[in-house]
Amino acid sequence: MTEYSRQASGSFTSTGAAKAINLPFAPNRIKLLNYTASAAFTDHRVLSAEWFSGMGQGFAIAQVRNTTYQSDSVIANGFSTFQAGLSLQYGAKQQIIGATAANPIVFNVTAHGYSVGDIVTFEGLYQSATTGMPQIAGMPFVISAVGDVDHFSVVWPGNGSNYTALSGSPTGATVKKVLYPFLYAPGVSFVEAITTGTTTTVVTTTPHNLLVGAEVAFRIPASWGTVELNSLPNVVIPGSAIYGYVVSVTNSTTVVVGTKSTGFTAFNTNQTVASVPGLSFPQMLAVGDVNTGGASISAGSVLYPPPVVNGANTINGPAINNAFVNNTSQGFIIGAGACVTDTAAVLVGANANVIYWEAFLDDIVV
């Protein structure tokens, strides 16, 4: 039967680390081919591998070059599937040893395991009862740089006078990774900076996933300034929200909104530690079930492929450009597990190896 079967294929260049593949389904069988290792017939490389759901998570059957061509297996950190839930899921909490009071903020976390592009949130961040940087605790951030295995950076004006560096592993100062951060898109973004003028430039702490033409609203608490951008209240038409439109996208965390903000109150990130209990964060959010942009919404309108969120296709079917979509992540992971016999051969391959893959979801599995 093939009525509901699904299949997908693709390729990537390995970094030697585990690779997550986002798909519109979670497969029940997977195939892999290491083109680089196969073309050179390289020793201690997994040339090809397969996985069936009945094997269990983390397993694989592999064909390995080890002087000769031989069969092998992976029994840990092999192929695995994932499906995000309806609410955010997190990785393990890690102790923060220290952090700089600078922009960007550099965090010291032993063997953090994070990569550029990962989304993290912080807790605590008190150096003492009245100092530290708890002003950003609870806000999501994209990791902008990784210095080494023990250091990573996030962009935020931590050099403000109300921020204090962390040291000595403060009690309760922790960080954790958001495993599937983009459950809905474009979603809600937290604001790191606003530049006012004839247009308004907004910098967000995580990828905004907005496109040109998106309709957005702002929620700026009074202590952060720039309250004139807020969608409510509308003093001209009471009860009618005020929205702006994205006129250009600078990068994944910066957009230009067409709203004229000349003379608006300056944005202020220099919040006090004393204000933290009850402190609300500034936000920019997409509004409406379907935003403008792309094609007009009418009979015969051209539909676009599944929306792409942060570089990955969503689980949705064709949609109008910049629609607000459900992006519950799912797919599979090619792990960096070693083979049982040839322990130098890992499933995901070596750095710069070109990997081809196929994934399938069958109608019936017996």
The tens digit of pLDDT for each residue in 163-190 reads: 999 999 999 999 999 988 888 778 789 9
The tens digit of pLDDT for each residue in 55-93 reads: 999 999 999 988 788 999 999 999 999 887 777 889 999
Rounded Cα gap, residues 268 and 248, in angstroms: 24
CATH code for the structural domain at 191-286: 2.40.30
Point out the least confidently predicted range of 163-172, 218-227, 303-312: 303-312
11 falls in which pLDDT band (50, 70, 90)?
Answer: very high
Rounded Cα gap, residues 11 and 31, in angstroms: 12
Instruction: Give the H/E segment covering residue 147.
Output: strand 145-148
CB 271 within 8 A of CB 220: no
Q: Does the domain at residues 94-177 carry the CATH identifier 3.30.70.20?
A: no
Phi-psi region of 269 (alpha: psi -120 to 50; beta: other; left: phi over 0): alpha
pLDDT of residue 194: 98
pLDDT of residue 145: 96
298 falls in which pLDDT band (50, 70, 90)?
Answer: low
pLDDT of residue 236: 76
Fold matches, 94-177 and 191-286: yes
Domain boundaries in the chain? 6-84+330-361, 94-177, 191-286
292 falls in which pLDDT band (50, 70, 90)?
Answer: very low
Peptide bond into 233 cis (omega under 30): yes
234 falls in which pLDDT band (50, 70, 90)?
Answer: confident
Instruction: Name the percent of the chain lying above pLDDT 70.
Output: 89
Q: Considering only CA atoms, which of 323, 296, 295, 293 is closest in space to residue 308?
A: 323
pLDDT of residue 317: 62
pTM score of the predicted model: 0.77
How many CA within 13 A on the CB side of residue 220? 25
C-alpha distance from residue 352 to each of 31, 34, 346, 355 (Å)? 19, 11, 14, 9
**Sheet strands (E) in 259-344:** 283-286, 308-309, 312-313, 325-326, 330-334
Rounded Cα gap, residues 154 and 157, in angstroms: 10
Token pair listed for 214: 């998106």
The tens digit of pLDDT for each residue in 326-355 reads: 777 788 999 999 999 999 999 999 999 999
Chain-wide mean pLDDT for the chain? 89
Average pLDDT on 136-151 reads: 96
